[in-house]
Structure 1
Amino acid sequence: MIQLTKQEQVYRTLKERIEKQIYAPGHCLPKEVELAVELGISRQTLRPALEQLAMENRIERVKGKGTFIRGGKEETRTRILVILNDLEHISNPYLYLMPWIQLTAENMNVKLESCSQASLLSRPGHEIVRKIANDGFQGILWFGSNFTGREPLVEILRKTGLPVLLPHASRNDQEVTGFTSMGTDYRRVLEDGLRYFAAQGHRRIAHLTQKDMRGIAEEEYFQCVRSLGLDAAPVLLYLTPEALDVRQIREGAAFLMTRTPRPTALFCFSDFYALQVYEYFAEKKIRIPDDVAVLSIGGQIGCDFLKPSLSAIDFGSSEIGRSAVRVLVEMIHEKRLNRDYIVTPHHITERESTRKMIYHTNQQKGKSL
C-alpha cells in the first residue's frame, strides 16, 4: 500500500472538497492560519498543497482578498496540445508514455487534445499559430526527437509563444529547437548495463546497436569497456545503419555470434533489437541465458511475456509520463518558456534472460536493481 505524505493527504482532501463542491465555485477559503488549524496541520504543510491546487487552476489566490474556488471543471482546466509523431511502430515511445500522460492530466485538471504532425502541417504556418491561440491552448507536448533544426514545425511552434516540452528527447534536441526536453542519460545507461554484466562475471560482452549509438562515440564506448576490465575487441561492437531494419539486426546478431570465442553476453540497442535476436537465437539453437545472456534498453514491449523473460534497462514510462505533465503545467503556471534539460531516471529490471539457471531459481521474478 502506498503511504501518502501529510502534504499529499492535505492536497487530496482539499481537491476532493472542491470536486464535490463542498467548496463551491466562488467560495473563499478561510485564511491560511485558520484553514491549517481546521485541518490539524502547519502552514508549512498547507502552502505546498495550495500551490498545487493553484497550479491546477482549481483555486485563485487574489492578493489582499483571499483564496477563491474557481469555476466549473471544464472552464478551469489547463489546455495542452499533444503533437504525435507519424511513426507507427512498436518502438514508438508515444505508445508507452501516452497512457500515463492521460492519467496524470486527468488527475491534474488538464485537458489534452491530440493531433499528428501531418494534420498540423496541412495548414499554412500562420494559420497553425492562430488556431492554437484561438483554441485556448496554454502549452504544447510534442513527441518529437532527433531534430536537425530545419523542421518547419519547430519555427511555427516558436511563434506561438507557448511553452513546448519534448518528453523523450536528447540534450541536442533542446539545443537545436530551444524547447525544454526530457530524456535518458544514455552514457550512464551503457555504463550501468556493462557494469551489470561485469558483476555477473561476463568479460566478453557483445553490443548490437544503431550506428549513432544515441550520440555516444565509439571511442567513448570502448573507454567504458576498458575501464571495467572487459574485452575491448572491436569485433564485439556491431553498428546497424538503420534502427528498424530487421535484416540488418539479424545480420549483426549472426556476425557477433560467429566471433571466436563467442561472446557470453549481448547488449541490445532496444527492445525491438532484442526481439529480432530472440528469433535468430531460436533458429540457431542458441540458448538464453545458458549460452548467451541478453539485456535490452527500453523495457517497454512486455518483457515479462517473452520466453525467457527479457532483462532490460527500463526507461520508466510511468514516471516520464507523469513528469512530463507536471513539468509543463508548472511552466504554464510560472509563465516560463524554458527549463534546463531534465534527465529522467532509469533502472535495471532483471529477468530470466540474464540469469543462470541455478541463480534463477533463487530470485524473485522481475526484481529491480
Structure 2
Amino acid sequence: MEIRFKKDQLYRQLREAIREGTYPPGTKLPKEVEFAAQLGVAPVTLRSALKLLEEERLITRLRSRGTFVNEHPAPPAVPENRPARNRVLLLFPAVDEEEGLEYNIFNRNLALGISGQCSLAKLEMAVEYASPAGLEQLSRRYERGEFAAVVWDRLAAPPEAAAIRALAAAGIPQVTVNRTCEGVPSVTCDYPAAIRQTVRSLQVIGHRNIALIDAGYHAPVFQERAEVFQQELRKGGVEQPGRYFISFDGVEWKDFYSHIEKSMRRLPEATAVIVMAFYMRHFTEYLRNSGTIVPGELSVIQWGERYGFERSSPNPYSILTESRMEIGRAAIGLIRRMLDGEPCVNERIKIGGELILRNGCAQPPQLDTLTSGVLR
C-alpha cells in the first residue's frame, strides 16, 4: 500500500521504529516541538502521526507528563499447519480506484487500521479493487499462495457475493466490512445507533425539522439508516418524516447539484441537515450559491469523511463518522483467529459511530433569537 501523506508516512516510520526497538516500551518521547525538529517535520504533522499511534495503543499521551511508548504484545506463535502465505488482501469497490487511498479518506482510514494490525501480527496487506475478472481469479490465486485471507469492504453485489460464497466453500478465511453474507464473519458500523445519536443530539439543542441527504440505495444498510432517521423525526413530533429524507437513488452525477437545490428549496423550514460526505462538494456549492449561512441559518453535519472534508480540514461542518481504523483492527482480529483455526463464521461485530460537534452546528435560528431576547 502506498500512502503519500506526510503524517501517514511519519506514522508508519514511527510505528516500525517502535516495533524494532528503537523506542523500547517505557521510553518517554521528546517534547513535540523538539521531536518534530529532530524528525524534520512540522509539529502539526507529528501531532497527527502521534494520534494514529495512540489510537493503535502503541503510545500513551499523559497531560503534563509526556508521551510514553507502551508495551506491545508479541505476535502469536504460528501453528505448524498454517500455510506459509501471510498476506491479507483488502478489496475495495472498483468505483473507488480512481481516487485511490490518497484522496479517499474513508478507505484510507480502514487501510491504516488493517495495516497497523497486520504489522503487529507479522502479516502483510495488499490493496486491490474488485473487478469481475479479478473476482474470478481469487480461488486460483489463493491456491498459488498469493494471500492468506480476504477483507471485503462494502462488497455484496451479486458478483462479489458469488465470489465470497465460493471462498467460504473452500474454507478460505475472509471478513466482510459494512455488509453481511451468510457464513462469513463481519464487522460493521452501527449505522442505526449513529443516526439515532445524531438526530437526538440535534433535537436536544432545539432542532425539529432535520433533513438527511443519503444515497438511499436498496441495500439493507441504506434502508436501515432511512428508517431509523424517520422514526426519530416521528418521535420528535414531525408528522411527515419521509419528506425530509433526500435520496440519491437513481440520480446521475450530472444532476447532483440540481437535485440538492430542488430538495432543499422544498424544505425551507429545515434548520439542520445531515449530508453524506460523498455529496458534500455539491452541497457546499449549494450553500455558497444560495447564500445560506452555516450555522446561522442552517446547521450542517456531514456523514463520513472525504478528501477536503475530513476532521482536520478547516471546513466548519460537524462530522458523524465511522471508526474505520477500529473497524479495520477488528477485521484483522477475526482474520487472526481464523488463521489459528478458530471458527468465527457467525461473528457479527458492530462498531459505534463517532459524532464530532464543531461550530457548524448550533441552536436553530428562531430558538437562538428567543434565547437572546430572554437574556436581554
| TM-score between the two structures when normalised by the length of structure 2 | 0.65
What is the letter of the counterpart of residue 111 of structure 1? E
**How much has 1:233 moved relative to structure 2?**
4.8
Alpha-carbon distance between aligned partners in 1 of 2:121 and 2:322, rounded to the nearest angstrom: 23
Alpha-carbon distance between aligned partners in 1 of 2:328 and 2:160, rounded to the nearest angstrom: 27
What is the aligned partner in structure 2 of residue 328 from structure 1?
335
**How much has 1:305 moved relative to structure 2?**
5.2
Alpha-carbon distance between aligned partners in 2 of 1:286 and 1:55, rounded to the nearest angstrom: 55
**How much has 1:91 moved relative to structure 2?**
5.7
SS of the residue corresponding to residue 90 of structure 2 reads strand
Aligned match for 2:133, one of 100, 104, 121: 121
Alpha-carbon distance between aligned partners in 2 of 1:310 and 1:104, rounded to the nearest angstrom: 31
**How much has 1:333 moved relative to structure 2?**
1.2
What is the aligned partner in structure 2 of residue 55 from structure 1?
76
**How much has 1:219 moved relative to structure 2?**
5.6
Higher relative contact order (CA 8 A, sep 6+): 2
**How much has 1:290 moved relative to structure 2?**
0.8
What is the letter of the counterpart of residue 166 of structure 1? T
Aligned match for 1:196, one of 182, 194, 201: 201
The answer as to 2:112 corresponding to 1:99 is: yes
SS of the residue corresponding to residue 334 of structure 1 reads coil
* Pairs aligned (count): 290
Alpha-carbon distance between aligned partners in 2 of 1:260 and 1:221, rounded to the nearest angstrom: 16
SS of the residue corresponding to residue 281 of structure 2 reads helix
CA contact (8 A) 1:240 1:248 kept: no
SS of the residue corresponding to residue 193 of structure 1 reads helix
Alpha-carbon distance between aligned partners in 2 of 1:102 and 1:329, rounded to the nearest angstrom: 13
**How much has 1:319 moved relative to structure 2?**
1.1
The answer as to 2:173 corresponding to 1:163 is: yes
**How much has 1:135 moved relative to structure 2?**
1.2
Superposed CA offset, 1:271-328 (max 9, x none): 1223321111011111111110111211354434555422111201221222222221
**How much has 1:235 moved relative to structure 2?**
3.0
What is the letter of the counterpart of residue 107 of structure 2? Y
SS of the residue corresponding to residue 270 of structure 2 reads coil
What is the aligned partner in structure 2 of residue 11 from structure 1?
none
> Any unmatched runs of 5+ in structure 1?
1-14, 21-48, 62-74, 359-369
What is the aligned partner in structure 2 of residue 131 from structure 1?
141
Alpha-carbon distance between aligned partners in 1 of 2:138 and 2:207, rounded to the nearest angstrom: 54
CA contact (8 A) 1:128 1:156 kept: no
> Any unmatched runs of 5+ in structure 2?
1-18, 25-70, 366-376
SS of the residue corresponding to residue 121 of structure 1 reads helix
Residues 179 and 194 of structure 1, relative CA distance in 2, 3 Å threshold: same
CA contact (8 A) 1:82 1:114 kept: yes
Superposed CA offset, 1:131-184 (max 9, x none): 3123163322223424337754234423432111113x23xx323xx3221111
What is the letter of the counterpart of residue 141 of structure 1? V
Residues 160 and 253 of structure 1, relative CA distance in 2, 3 Å threshold: same
The answer as to 2:304 corresponding to 1:298 is: yes
Residues 257 and 121 of structure 1, relative CA distance in 2, 3 Å threshold: closer
Aligned match for 1:225, one of 211, 228, 233: 233
**How much has 1:263 moved relative to structure 2?**
1.0
Aligned identity (percent) is 17
Alpha-carbon distance between aligned partners in 2 of 1:273 and 1:286, rounded to the nearest angstrom: 17
Residues 246 and 219 of structure 1, relative CA distance in 2, 3 Å threshold: same
Alpha-carbon distance between aligned partners in 2 of 1:239 and 1:247, rounded to the nearest angstrom: 15
Residues 266 and 187 of structure 1, relative CA distance in 2, 3 Å threshold: same
CA contact (8 A) 1:266 1:295 kept: yes
SS of the residue corresponding to residue 303 of structure 1 reads coil
**How much has 1:84 moved relative to structure 2?**
3.5
**How much has 1:230 moved relative to structure 2?**
4.4
Aligned match for 1:352, one of 346, 359, 364: 359
Aligned match for 1:342, one of 338, 343, 349: 349
CA contact (8 A) 1:96 1:300 kept: no
Aligned match for 1:79, one of 76, 80, 87: 87
**How much has 1:220 moved relative to structure 2?**
5.0
SS of the residue corresponding to residue 340 of structure 2 reads helix
Alpha-carbon distance between aligned partners in 2 of 1:288 and 1:235, rounded to the nearest angstrom: 22
SS of the residue corresponding to residue 87 of structure 1 reads helix
What is the aligned partner in structure 2 of residue 142 from structure 1?
152
